[in-house]
Amino acid sequence: MERLPLILLLASHLFVSGVFSTSIITIENKCSNTIWPVLFSWQSQVSTTGFTLKTGEARAIEAPSSWYGLISARTLCSNDSTGKFSCATGDCKSGEIECPGGYGWSPVTYIFFRIDDGGINSYVISLEFGYNLPVTVVPSSQTCLSSGCMVDLNKTCPNDLKIFTRGDLTACNSACRKSASQENCCTHYFKSKQTCKPTPYVENFDRACPFAYSYAYNDNNSTFTCTNTTNYVVTFCPSSIPNNTRFNLVGYYSN
């Protein structure tokens, strides 16, 4: 609390000098069904915490300077007889389309963003908690690399990690969430970059999406950075791979 006046003074200086920068993040749905994106913020706030996106629709969100948050997509959502809203995957437990308040981790595909953190934007596609939909992130600047997880990991998901809803396979759980073992969660003895290694469960994600963050301390290839003036398009269920993508640089997905 004693440092607060200094922080406010610095923030005022940055505002007056025009250093603050925002990015436009456009979320689009190319899935065959409606999705319900979630936006959760740890630092700064965006204009919405959740909304509906029908097939073929897109919505642009202004991410302010210093925004640190995540984007995910809920699927198979509906209202029950009392009007309570819930989803088969990625449900935020709010009972409504918006997702205010805290957030409980779900076995879904996450995209983490940091906007204008010292003049740099960064993003990570994360499979650490599981997977539900393929996704790509495409920066507006051609000098920045796009990334994505285009593979349907539900099909290659180990049987004991598969999540079914009304008989349909809807998501793939993480081994840590399933068993909470020290090895799978990289805790205790395994809590370091030297000892935390991908287990056979994690390798399912790692082989299919090598530039996604799939387990603790797996950050060598998963963090992408760009200038703070860059905008982004987040596409769920993309139909093609962008030209300026990490995939093309390694020949991945060439078949």
* Residue 54 and residue 29 in contact, taking contact as beta carbons nearer than 8 Å: yes
CATH number of the domain where residue 54 is located: 2.60.110.10
Residue 6 lies in a domain: no
Q: Please check whether residue 12 lies inside any domain of the structure.
A: no
Coil/strand/helix, residue 54 = coil
pTM here? 0.85
Rounded Cα gap, residues 24 and 62, in angstroms:
5
Q: How many domains does the chain contain in total?
A: 1
What percent of the chain is predicted at pLDDT more than 90? 59
Beta-strand ranges (E) seen in 161-222 are: 162-165, 168-173
Q: What is the per-residue pLDDT across 133-156, written as a single tens digit (0 to 9) for each?
A: 999 999 999 889 999 999 899 988
Q: Residue 183: inside a domain, yes or no?
A: yes
Task: Tell me the C-alpha distance between 254 and 220, whole Å.
Answer: 22
Measured between alpha carbons, how far is 73 from 108 in angstroms, rounded to an integer? 8
> End-to-end distance of the chain based on CA atoms, in angstroms?
56
Q: Is residue 9 part of a domain?
A: no
Please check the confidence at residue 40 and state whether its pLDDT lies above 90. Answer: yes
Structural domain range at position 131:
19-245
Per-residue pLDDT averaged across 118-135, rounded? 94
In a domain, 125, yes or no: yes
